[in-house]
């Protein structure tokens, strides 16, 4: 019998550092193994897949995106399409799944343990990242998805601890100690430094506080993306594409630019730094090379990207924004764009 593929969920709310953590795990990947990563994002454009693929740029790591909300909705069809294509293409030795930070993991777990994947996948530890500073914020503590990402975790990881204090640590330990049995393993890390050994810990059945919370993301069958549409592409002759999404009391807008478009690094950095939205991510070709941008809480981090086929930017906000005004300012950071 063919060996089952070990699969892990890497969960966490917006800004918890999931993508950085996965990059850290990929750097620990055994040389003789092929890994696959299925990435789900709230936004319609999709940035995390480009960040992961562009940062690793390896022929033994395969990345596929399911953008546009929770991939488990409507009988799990978006997830199954992306997952089936990823497995067929990569034949991986391990599968990592990163759900959207606004998503609920229960239906994803049900799908992976269901009849269709039972003989293909072996669900192992679910790892949840949390910024311990958020454990005193009622906006997070009263969010059903935030709570259930934690309640369903086999390993609960306090991340971004270089920005935390001793009070945050005590609060995290008290919070974890109050979780119901079976209690998760816990860890205190910074910059997404997950241990690859945690992936081999067992998955254990746990009870969600609100297992139906993910229903707020549901799309009707006619809104589901087809296999072809899951890979976002610019229409011929079009210089950029804009896509919006709304759900879970959040709003997103993303832009995809042609492969020939180039941005001023300084202007783009200044524009991103000036934003007050909850999250902003980008992968862009600039006059200083290909860069990945990540903005949260007014702090912008920049990483080097080995390669990208296009440039893209996505904003997630907890309140409506003037997307037209931002688009105008974004276009002002462009230093080269071919004629349509």
Q: Which residues pair with 286 in a beta bridge?
A: 263, 289
| Residue 231: DSSP 8-state | S
pLDDT, tens digit (0-9, with 9 covering 90-100), for 248-257: 788 999 999 9
**Strand intervals (E) in the chain:** 5-12, 35-40, 61-66, 94-98, 121-123, 127-130, 155-158, 185-188, 240-247, 250-257, 262-263, 279-286, 289-296, 299-304, 311-317, 334-336
- Whole-model pTM? 0.86
Q: Encode pLDDT of 124-144 as tens digits.
A: 999 999 999 999 999 899 989
pLDDT in tens, 184-224: 999 999 999 999 999 999 999 998 887 666 544 444 444 44
Average pLDDT, integer, range 288-307: 90
pLDDT of residue 67: 76
Backbone phi, psi, residue 264, to 5°:
-75, 120
Model confidence at 1: pLDDT above 60: no
Structural domain boundaries of the chain?
5-217, 237-336
Q: Tens of pLDDT along 37-71?
A: 999 888 888 888 888 877 765 679 999 888 776 66
| Confidence check: pLDDT of 73 > 70 | no
Q: Which two tokens stand for residue 154?
A: 């086999």
CATH superfamily of 237-336: CobW-like, C-terminal domain (3.30.1220.10)
Q: Give me the CATH topology for the region 5-217.
A: Rossmann fold (3.40.50)
């Amino acid at each position: 019998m063919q060996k089952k593929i070990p699969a892990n969920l890497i969960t966490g709310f917006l800004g918890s550092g999931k993508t950085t953590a996965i990059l850290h795990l990929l750097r620990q990947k055994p040389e003789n193994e092929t890994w696959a990563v299925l990435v789900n994002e709230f936004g319609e454009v999709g940035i995390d897949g480009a960040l992961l693929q562009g940062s690793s740029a390896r022929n033994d790591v395969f990345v596929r995106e399911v953008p546009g909300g929770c991939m488990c909705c409507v009988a799990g069809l978006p997830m199954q399409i992306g997952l089936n294509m990823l497995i067929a293409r990569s034949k991986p030795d391990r599968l990592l799944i990163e759900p959207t930070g606004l998503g609920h993991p229960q239906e994803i777990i049900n799908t992976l343990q269901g009849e269709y994947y039972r003989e293909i996948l072996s669900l192992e530890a679910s790892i949840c990242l949390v910024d311990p500073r958020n454990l005193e914020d009622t906006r997070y503590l009263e969010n059903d998805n935030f709570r259930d990402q934690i309640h369903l975790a086999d390993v609960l990881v306090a991340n971004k601890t270089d920005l935390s204090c001793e009070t945050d640590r005590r609060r995290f330990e008290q919070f974890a100690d109050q979780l119901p049995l079976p209690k998760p393993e816990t860890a205190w890390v910074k910059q997404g430094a997950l241990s690859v050994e945690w992936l081999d810990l067992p998955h254990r059945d746990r009870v969600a506080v609100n297992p139906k919370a993910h229903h707020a993301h549901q799309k009707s069958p006619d809104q589901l993306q087809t296999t072809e549409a899951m890979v976002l592409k610019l229409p011929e002759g079009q210089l950029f594409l804009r896509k919006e999404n709304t759900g879970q009391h959040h709003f997103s807008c993303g832009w995809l630019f042609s492969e020939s478009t180039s941005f001023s690094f300084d202007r783009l950095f200044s524009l991103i730094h000036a934003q007050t939205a909850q999250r902003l991510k980008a992968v862009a070709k600039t006059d200083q090379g290909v860069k990945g941008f990540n903005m949260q809480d007014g702090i912008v981090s920049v990483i080097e990207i080995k390669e990208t086929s296009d440039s893209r930017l996505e904003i997630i906000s907890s309140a409506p924004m003037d997307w037209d005004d931002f688009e105008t300012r974004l276009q002002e950071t462009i230093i080269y764009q071919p004629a349509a």
